[in-house]
Each structure stands twice: as C-alpha cells, then as structure tokens.
C-alpha cells in the first residue's frame, strides 16, 4: 500500500479535529438552546428542511416514532445531514464520530435530492443502525463499531448491512404509503 501524501494526511487530521471540536460545540450550544423548550433531543439536525421531514416521519410512522423515542432513552446522539454524494448503491450511511463523556456521537449522511418519502425511509434505516450501536455499550469508536457489524451484519457493497435495518426501512415505507 502506498503511504498517504503528507498534505492529505495533514488535511485528514485537521478535518477530524474540526469535526470533534464541532461535535463538542454543537452539543453544548444545541443542548443549551433546547433545554428551556424541550428535553434533550438525541436525533438532531441543523437543517430546517430535514427537521421538517423528520417531524413528518415521526407523526406519520409508528416505526419512525419508535426509533426516535428509543434513541431518546440512550446515550447516543445522532446528527442527520444531507450530503451531495453517498457511495452507490447506498442512499445513506452512518459513521461513528466520537465518544465524549457520557455520550457517543454518530453522524447519518443522506444522499441529497431524494424524494421526501425516500429521505425519511433512509433516515429510519440509518437510525435502526444507531439503535444497534446504542444497544452495545462496547461500541466506543469506529473499530468497535466495525466489530459489532461483523458480528450482527453481513457484508454489503460499502460496509455491512443488518436484516433489522432493512426491515425497518420496509416498515416505514409501508407506513408512509397509508
């Protein structure tokens, strides 16, 4: 394997440091802003359109509501965002960001320009993965997350997949059609 170019390595280190600093800052800022209005929300976004789609999913889908409510009782905080590119054939992906104090931070990235229905279904699928992580206190970094998915999942094009996440997406899709 060819070693990484020093400039790329430095850029990757700086990006990781920025992400960790952002997670800590967002946690403090968002938690303080939300504390007065409502209990801490474990599934977050800074995008109003995404928040509207997730609120619609919460109202229309009992399964989506269960995911959000179950994550609310966990030590996992999930940031949901939209990105221009997710490796095909996937529509979304979940990444372990960090563990800080009593919280484990995850990032869900959803491919941009999906229909509202496909967006909510994809978020539900990824939130099921977040619940799988929440259920295993031993998942404390990317390596232990990969080990979890080697145990409970099966290899897919871009990582691992679980039957539970596929079922969850199918359930939410059906519920949104009613």
Please tell me what DSSP assigns to residue 101.
T
Phi-psi sector, 105: left (phi>0), alpha (psi -120 to 50), beta = beta
The reply to whether 1 falls in a domain is no
pLDDT tens-digit series, residues 137-168: 999 999 999 999 999 999 998 889 999 999 99
Residues 6 or more apart whose Cβ sits within 8 Å of residue 126 = 80, 92, 93, 94, 108, 110, 165
pLDDT of residue 20: 52
The reply to whether 170 falls in a domain is yes
The reply to whether 118 falls in a domain is yes
Q: Which domain holds residue 100?
A: 40-177
- How many domains would you assign to the chain? 1
Taking the model in full, what pTM does it have? 0.79
The reply to whether 2 falls in a domain is no
pLDDT of residue 158: 87
Residue 30 has pLDDT above 90, yes or no: no
The reply to whether 46 falls in a domain is yes
For residues 128 and 162, the answer to whether their CB atoms sit within 8 Å is yes
Interval 4-33 mean pLDDT: 50
Across the chain, mean pLDDT equals 85
Comparing CA positions, the residue from 33, 43, 63 lying closest to residue 175 is: 63
Model confidence at 71, pLDDT cuts 50, 70, 90, reads very high
Residues 6 or more apart whose Cβ sits within 8 Å of residue 155 = 161
Token readout for 105 is 């931070």
């Amino acid at each position: 394997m060819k070693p990484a170019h020093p400039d790329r390595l430095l850029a990757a280190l700086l990006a990781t440091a920025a992400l960790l600093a952002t997670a800590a800052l967002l946690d403090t800022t968002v938690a303080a802003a939300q504390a007065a209005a409502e209990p801490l929300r474990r599934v977050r976004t800074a995008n109003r359109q995404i928040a509207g789609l997730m609120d619609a999913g919460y109202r229309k889908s009992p399964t989506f509501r269960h995911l959000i409510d179950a994550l609310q009782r966990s030590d996992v905080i999930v940031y949901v965002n939209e990105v221009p590119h997710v490796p095909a054939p996937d529509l979304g992906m979940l990444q372990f960001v960090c563990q800080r104090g009593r919280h484990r931070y995850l990032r869900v990235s959803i491919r941009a320009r999906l229909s509202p229905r496909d967006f909510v279904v994809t978020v539900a699928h990824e939130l099921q993965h977040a619940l799988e992580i929440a259920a295993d206190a031993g998942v404390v970094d990317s390596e232990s997350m990969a080990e979890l998915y080697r145990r409970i999942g099966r290899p897919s094009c871009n990582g691992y997949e679980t039957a539970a996440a596929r079922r969850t997406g199918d359930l939410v899709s059906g519920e949104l059609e009613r």
